[in-house]
């Protein structure tokens, strides 16, 4: 495909997303299924352009003077990818697959775009208007900058698995992918975000991956798991294990000692836990599936650590799932908070006296974080908040003692973590 056809395809996908409120992943798959002629570079181009538009749809629309898929796609080519006007004009006017010659208004906007200096924070930060009050509450005058950081492309982070290797050997195995130490944690590595039209090297193709030497896991997620503290020899329950990312991080920290339990309310989300644990060499794991009548029977009041990676809006992962911020609604925002209260109440009985309940979300909203902790402590006076003392991120601990990470302040996905100790 030539540039004109690729541009037209990206706009077609964006229009499909807009008209059908379809997740970007599904819209891109539908286009790919119908475009068998498209090669891997064509697919990378179309996917990269679509996702970059979704990341910065509002600021692009402001600069272009129009927020249509056509206008914002052209804006990405000029302001994001640095294409000269001549190349954009050539691609647009390509026959027979181009999108049609640039208009005078488009040429003017691409040449002298409207500056963002006087744009509202929600436009400059590329987030929905309804989220303005919630983000202002957390970030104040920095909310536009925080939103802009959540609109950039994300790197690929990996965690070396201490059950199978060490950071030195992992670094050598990851060298072909240009992975470097990510900082903050010795086991964390980072592959820089690729150019929009390129794909990150396939981690799964490295032989060491098949051996279980490392896992793909954002540094923020690794840090959130580390908030659990010393877990060697302990009884640990991952209450919302999902696919097992943090389960495996906890297992590595336990070093094949103690007992680790994985549970989730949805058995389908747990489908990958056992295969991933087997590949990672985890031997102290019990999977407690909800398909059992009483999956957690016998664990009440016996856990040293109950880890709750709660269901949330996922606002901290908008770099990776940019369409999610436009599909999220105030009603969904409220429902998530009710779900978080429920899951905390369900997890609390398994914590023994002196044990810790670790509450984690990949959200940046106080309504899902501090407010949920405060509400939980009101309902459960036998628990008390304890400050996060994880040395590498002490400068990211809030005045209340909670951990808050964002792309702007920590170069990670957005995460929140709180330690709640059972005192009676």
Q: Classify residue 124: in a domain, yes or no.
A: no
| Total domain count, the chain | 3
Q: What is the CATH number of the domain that holds 287?
A: 3.40.50.150
What is the distance, to the nearest Å, from the Cα of residue 398 to the centroid of all Cα atoms in its chain?
21
pLDDT at residue number 195: 82
Q: Is the pLDDT of residue 201 over 90?
A: no
Q: List beta partners, residue 397.
A: 403
Contact 98, 4 (CB under 8 A): yes
pLDDT at residue number 238: 98
- Which of 32-36, 131-135, 137-141, 259-263 is least confident? 32-36
Q: Which of 62, 95, 114 is the C-terminal boundary of a domain?
A: 114
pLDDT at residue number 204: 87
Query: For the residues 212-221, what does the mean pLDDT come to?
Result: 96
Q: Is the pLDDT of residue 394 over 80?
A: yes
Nearest to 239 by CA among 112, 343, 120, 342: 343
**Would you list the DSSP string of 92-140?**
HT-TTTS--PPPHHHHHHHHSPPPSTTS-HHHHTT--GGGHHHHHHHHG
Q: Are residues 177 and 229 in the same domain?
A: no
Q: Are residues 177 and 240 in the same domain?
A: no
How sure is the predictor about 302, in pLDDT bands with cuts at 50, 70 and 90? very high
pLDDT at residue number 197: 77
Q: Classify residue 138: in a domain, yes or no.
A: no
pLDDT at residue number 198: 78
Q: Which of 171, 195, 216 is the C-terminal boundary of a domain?
A: 216
Q: Classify residue 86: in a domain, yes or no.
A: yes
pLDDT at residue number 101: 97
What distance in Å separates the CA atoms of residue 261 and residue 284, rounded to the nearest whole number?
8
How sure is the predictor about 194, in pLDDT bands with cuts at 50, 70 and 90? confident
Which residue among the candidates 252, 348, 362, 373 is catalytic per the annotation?
A: 362
**Tens-digit pLDDT profile for residues 18-34:** 999 889 999 999 999 99
- Which of 14-23, 71-80, 259-268, 405-414 is least confident? 14-23
| Domain membership of residue 100 as a residue range | 3-114
Backbone angles phi, psi at 122, to 5 degrees: -65, -30
What distance in Å separates the CA atoms of residue 263 and residue 238, rounded to the nearest whole number?
6
Global model pTM greater than 0.85? yes
Q: What is the CATH number of the domain that holds 202?
A: 3.30.70.1170
Residues 6+ apart with CB under 8 A from 413: 154, 218, 219, 220, 221, 316, 317, 319, 320, 362, 405, 407
What distance in Å separates the CA atoms of residue 217 and residue 417, rounded to the nearest whole number?
16
Q: Are residues 418 and 303 in the same domain?
A: yes
Contact 255, 280 (CB under 8 A): no
What distance in Å separates the CA atoms of residue 225 and residue 222, rounded to the nearest whole number?
5
Annotated binding residue 218: no
pLDDT at residue number 342: 98
Backbone angles phi, psi at 211, to 5 degrees: -85, -5
What distance in Å separates the CA atoms of residue 5 and residue 41, rounded to the nearest whole number?
13
Q: Classify residue 128: in a domain, yes or no.
A: no
Q: Are residues 230 and 317 in the same domain?
A: yes
Q: Are residues 294 and 364 in the same domain?
A: yes
- Which of 36-40, 285-289, 415-419 is least confident? 36-40
Q: Are residues 343 and 301 in the same domain?
A: yes
Q: Are residues 108 and 250 in the same domain?
A: no
Mean pLDDT of the chain: 96
- Which of 76-80, 94-98, 381-385 is least confident? 94-98
Q: Are residues 230 and 181 in the same domain?
A: no
Q: Classify residue 150: in a domain, yes or no.
A: no
How sure is the predictor about 199, in pLDDT bands with cuts at 50, 70 and 90? confident
Q: Which of 93, 114, 135 is the C-terminal boundary of a domain?
A: 114
Residue for token digits 């402001």?
Answer: 62
How sure is the predictor about 414, in pLDDT bands with cuts at 50, 70 and 90? very high
Residues 6+ apart with CB under 8 A from 112: none
What distance in Å separates the CA atoms of residue 107 and residue 87, rounded to the nearest whole number?
12
240 in catalytic set = no
Q: Classify residue 188: in a domain, yes or no.
A: yes
How sure is the predictor about 138, in pLDDT bands with cuts at 50, 70 and 90? very high
Inter-CA distances, 269 with 219, 286, 356, 413, Å: 22, 16, 25, 21
Q: Are residues 201 and 229 in the same domain?
A: no
Contact 173, 161 (CB under 8 A): no
Q: Classify residue 141: in a domain, yes or no.
A: no
What distance in Å separates the CA atoms of residue 415 and residue 397, rounded to the nearest whole number?
11
Q: Classify residue 59: in a domain, yes or no.
A: yes
What distance in Å separates the CA atoms of residue 326 and residue 337, rounded to the nearest whole number?
19
How sure is the predictor about 309, in pLDDT bands with cuts at 50, 70 and 90? very high
Query: For the residues 402-407, what does the mean pLDDT come to?
Result: 98
pLDDT at residue number 192: 92
Q: Are residues 232 and 208 in the same domain?
A: no
How sure is the predictor about 367, in pLDDT bands with cuts at 50, 70 and 90? very high
Q: Are residues 315 and 183 in the same domain?
A: no
pLDDT at residue number 166: 95
How sure is the predictor about 287, in pLDDT bands with cuts at 50, 70 and 90? very high
Annotated binding residue 304: no
Distance from the first to the final alpha carbon of the chain: 67
Q: Are residues 210 and 258 in the same domain?
A: no
What distance in Å separates the CA atoms of residue 422 and residue 382, rounded to the nearest whole number?
6
């Amino acid at each position: 495909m030539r540039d004109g056809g690729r541009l037209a395809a990206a706009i077609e996908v964006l229009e499909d997303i807009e008209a059908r409120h379809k997740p970007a992943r599904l819209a891109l798959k539908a286009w790919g299924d119908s475009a068998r002629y498209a090669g891997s570079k064509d697919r990378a181009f179309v996917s990269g352009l679509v996702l970059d538009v979704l990341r910065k749809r509002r600021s692009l629309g402001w600069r272009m003077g129009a927020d249509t898929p056509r206008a914002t796609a052209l804006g990405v080519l000029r302001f994001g990818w640095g294409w000269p006007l001549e190349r954009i004009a050539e691609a647009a006017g390509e026959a027979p697959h181009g999108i049609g010659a640039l208009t005078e208004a488009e040429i003017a906007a691409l040449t002298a775009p409207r500056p963002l200096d006087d744009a509202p924070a929600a436009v400059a930060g590329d987030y929905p208007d309804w989220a303005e009050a919630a983000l202002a509450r957390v970030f104040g005058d920095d909310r536009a900058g925080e939103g802009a950081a959540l609109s950039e492309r994300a790197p690929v982070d990996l965690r070396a698995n201490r059950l199978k290797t060490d950071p030195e050997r992992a670094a050598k195995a990851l060298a072909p992918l240009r992975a470097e130490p990510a900082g903050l944690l010795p086991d964390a590595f980072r592959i820089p975000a690729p150019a929009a039209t390129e794909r990150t090297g396939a981690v799964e193709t490295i032989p060491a991956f098949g051996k279980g030497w490392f896992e793909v896991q954002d540094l923020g997620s690794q840090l959130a798991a580390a908030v659990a503290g010393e877990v060697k020899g302990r009884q640990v329950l991952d209450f919302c294990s999902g696919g097992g990312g943090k389960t495996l991080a906890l297992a590595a920290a336990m070093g094949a000692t103690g007992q680790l339990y994985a549970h989730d309310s949805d058995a389908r989300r747990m489908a990958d836990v056992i295969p991933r644990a087997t590949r990672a060499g985890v031997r102290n794991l019990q999977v407690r599936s909800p398909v059992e009548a009483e999956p957690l029977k016998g664990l009440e009041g016996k856990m040293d650590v109950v880890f709750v990676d709660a269901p949330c809006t996922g606002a901290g992962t908008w770099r990776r799932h940019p369409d999610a911020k436009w599909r999220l609604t105030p009603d969904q925002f409220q429902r998530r908070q009710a779900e978080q209260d429920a899951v905390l109440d369900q997890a609390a009985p398994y914590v023994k006296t002196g044990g810790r309940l670790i509450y984690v979300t990949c959200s940046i909203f106080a309504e899902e974080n501090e407010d949920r902790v405060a509400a939980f402590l009101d309902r459960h006076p036998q628990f008390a908040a304890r400050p996060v003392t994880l040395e590498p991120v002490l400068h990211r601990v809030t005045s209340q003692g909670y951990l808050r990470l964002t792309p702007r302040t920590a170069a990670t996905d957005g995460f929140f973590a709180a330690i709640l100790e059972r005192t009676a």
